């Protein structure tokens, strides 16, 4: 495998990871916070319904988790492709 093919494989894996993280974040913030809020209104978390909680806190916590998850996965991807620091 030459350097050009390795670069394409690396960026392909990177883009898959980015798209996956964006899909999770969109599902949690837009899906749970807005679209599915009527279905989640019967579940209470800290005095508020679950849909409201996802809109106010859950999407932020998910975003912070995704930052750490992305960094961890990128470190593994860098090692796999021989690009670690």
84, pLDDT greater than 80: no
73, pLDDT greater than 90: yes
Could you tell me which residue, 19 or 54, shows the higher pLDDT?
19
1, pLDDT greater than 80: no
Q: Which letter does DSSP use for residue 50 in this model?
A: H
Mean pLDDT of the 39-47 span: 86
Cβ partners under 8 Å of residue 83, min gap 6: 10
Confidence of residue 4 (pLDDT cuts 50, 70, 90): confident
pLDDT at 85: 75
11, pLDDT greater than 90: yes
């Amino acid at each position: 495998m030459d350097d050009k093919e390795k670069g394409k494989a690396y960026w392909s894996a990177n883009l898959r990871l980015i798209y996956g993280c964006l899909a999770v974040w969109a599902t949690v913030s837009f899906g749970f916070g807005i679209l599915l809020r009527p279905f989640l209104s019967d579940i209470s978390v800290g005095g508020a319904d679950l849909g409201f909680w996802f809109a106010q806190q859950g999407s932020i916590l998910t975003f912070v988790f995704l930052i750490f998850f992305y960094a961890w996965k990128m470190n593994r991807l860098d090692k796999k492709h021989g690009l670690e620091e």
